[in-house]
Amino acid sequence: MSTRLPDFLSETELIEACRKNNRQAQHALFQKMAGKMLSVVKRYITNTSEAEDTLMEGFVKVFSKLDQYQGGGSFEGWIRKIMVNEALMSIRKNKDRYPMDIDAAFDVANPDETLMQLGLQEIENLISSLPTGYRTIFNLYAIEGYSHAEIAQLLAISEGTSKSQLSRARALLQNQLAALQI
């Protein structure tokens, strides 16, 4: 016999119901967070099908590790961290499809004010077009706020590799921005 959830639960009440394996609460939490978290995952995995699979694996982990959330920070931030880690694990599992170190030289252009003229979706498209290794490190550093030491640990690479991949990602983005000025 399933108990119906009240129409409005606080975040704390929703989390507590999920901890008790209430399927309606779990569904409500998934509905509430899935859109945002899919956007997070798609920053790392551009293939929609793979991103959706990773999202589902991430939510399985969220529900199985919910007792580890102590309420010390943002619940959304806690879920975001799980989703980023799941995306990184997916990239690691498929490293033959997603090479992390792409050795290519890029001339750094001066994008001037082009960036200021772009919309959010255009910027996201530029970032999504980066090779996987560049995009992963750019997202971790510039968007998620990880340090190079943390990135190195997460990806099992050296700090120098993290720094060089970020530099190359920035150079490639600058070249793409310069091309838009034409």
Local confidence pLDDT in tens for the 182 residues of the chain: 445 565 678 889 999 999 999 999 999 999 999 999 999 999 888 889 999 999 999 999 999 999 999 888 899 999 999 999 999 888 888 765 544 443 333 333 333 444 445 566 777 888 888 898 899 999 899 888 889 999 999 888 999 999 999 999 988 888 887 777 64
Domain identity same for 118 and 162: yes
Is 1 part of any domain? no
Look at residues 115, 104, 125 and name the one whose alpha carbon lies nearest to residue 168.
104
Which residue is listed with tokens 């992963």? Answer: 136
Domain identity same for 26 and 76: yes
pLDDT at 70: 87
Domain identity same for 22 and 80: yes
For position 155, which CATH number holds? 1.10.10.10
Those residues whose C-beta lies under 8 Å from the C-beta of residue 150, and which sit 6 or more positions away, are 140
pLDDT at 177: 77
3-class DSSP state for residue 182?
coil
Domain identity same for 89 and 120: no
pLDDT at 128: 86
Is 154 part of any domain? yes
Those residues whose C-beta lies under 8 Å from the C-beta of residue 88, and which sit 6 or more positions away, are 44, 136, 154, 155
Q: Model pTM?
A: 0.66
Is 54 part of any domain? yes
Is 60 part of any domain? yes
pLDDT at 160: 92
Is 100 part of any domain? no
pLDDT at 111: 39
Q: What does each C-alpha distance from 128 to 31, 38, 73, 112 come to in angstroms?
A: 25, 14, 29, 21
What is the domain range of residue 30?
A: 11-93
- Total of domains in the chain: 2
pLDDT at 115: 44
pLDDT at 110: 37
pLDDT at 113: 43
Largest CA distance in the chain: 65
pLDDT at 142: 87
Domain identity same for 149 and 84: no
Domain identity same for 15 and 88: yes
For position 76, which CATH number holds? 1.10.1740.10
Is 73 part of any domain? yes
Is 4 part of any domain? no
Long-range contacts of 156-161 (CB under 8 A, 24+ apart): 156/92, 157/100, 157/101, 161/100, 161/101
Domain identity same for 18 and 89: yes
* Among 33, 61, 93, residue at a domain's last position: 93
Look at residues 88, 78, 18, 86 and name the one whose alpha carbon lies nearest to residue 55.
86
Is 56 part of any domain? yes
